[in-house]
Amino acid sequence: MTALIAVLLLLAAGIWFGATADAVAEAAVAGHPVRAALTSPFRRAALMLSRQAIATEHPDRLNRLLAPACYLVLAAAGLSVIPFAPGMAVTDIATGLVLWGACEALVVVVVFLNGWSANAPLPLIGGYRYVAIGLPAMLISMFVLIGAALPAQSLGVGAVVESQRVLINAVRQPLGLPLFLLLGLSITLRGPFDYGDSADLAGGTHAEASGAHRLLWRAAKLAMLTAFSAMAATVFLGGYLGTVLPGPAWLVLKTALVMLVLVAITHLVARVPPARMLTWLWTVLLPLSFVDLVWAGLEAMR
């Protein structure tokens, strides 16, 4: 029960923190006053709530509602396997990493459905372009996560944390965290990996969304950012492990750190056209994840 409350609190705080960090980074890069950006997420949310949520011509109503809602649920489900302290997770199962993998895979489905259900050309193009990039990005993260599970000899997230008491995985497997961060950008549709909601498609999968519908989709993206960052902090940065401060505090701090890194990348790094990224994914990044896996295996056998 405590863990469930902790998950919901972390999600809510993460959405707020992510939105604020985004607004501040945007203002700083754009040269706008940073002070005003601190409170701007509330104003923007209020504005979206007070506007009409337009329905397109002949949409797939069910999936149009389900897509953002499921995205939010997936973020919560992904966060549920993360231990806040030894043994303190909502779903403390031995297959936590596989469950997280299932969440990643379903994000691709949800983003596609969001683009498809609007029944308009630009969201549809965004939807299937995202599938083309999102699936290989997810494959890479699978190999990286298997690598992280090797020293723990378990697919349970708790065991992965405990295996980092001596050395955190970010140091033990140096390729792991950078490759995993790429997945984070991909499943949260951000910056250099924003192939679903991109500007060349006037917003891609949510190009036709307005009002509360738009707010829900954005909140879901930020919730997924939180869930992903907590996962990265847990699997590669030792999660709740740390001295002086209590375990949950360490987890929150590390999560916030990963979020800030992702937000910075979002606003500072350019995106390449999808065909080029697809080539890189299959010919450079996927082989790199094999290298990471071999490295992790050799290191675990030592």
CB of 272 to other proteins, least distance (A): 5
CA distance 134 to 194: 10
CB 145, CB 104: distance < 8 Å: no
Which amino acid type is present at position 235? V
CB 255, CB 229: distance < 8 Å: yes
Q: Which C-beta is closer to other proteins: that of 16 or that of 242?
A: 16
Quote the tokens at residue 85: 């302290």
Quote the tokens at residue 302: 């030592």
Q: What is the DSSP letter of 284?
A: I
Indicate the helix (H) or strand (E) that contains 260. Answer: helix 247-268
Quote the tokens at residue 244: 């002086």
Q: Which C-beta is closer to other proteins: that of 18 or that of 248?
A: 18
Q: Which C-beta is closer to other proteins: that of 130 or that of 240?
A: 130
Q: Which C-beta is closer to other proteins: that of 67 or that of 168?
A: 67
Indicate the helix (H) or strand (E) that contains 127. Answer: helix 121-152
Tell which residue, 83, 69, 104, 26, has the closest CA to residue 235.
83
CA distance 176 to 233: 12
CB of 293 to other proteins, least distance (A): 16
CA distance 6 to 213: 26
CB of 159 to other proteins, least distance (A): 12
CB of 243 to other proteins, least distance (A): 33
Q: Which C-beta is closer to other proteins: that of 46 or that of 253?
A: 46
CB of 62 to other proteins, least distance (A): 9
CB of 223 to other proteins, least distance (A): 19
Q: Which C-beta is closer to other proteins: that of 254 or that of 271?
A: 271
CA distance 250 to 111: 31
Q: Which C-beta is closer to other proteins: that of 272 or that of 298?
A: 272
CB of 121 to other proteins, least distance (A): 5
CA distance 27 to 35: 9
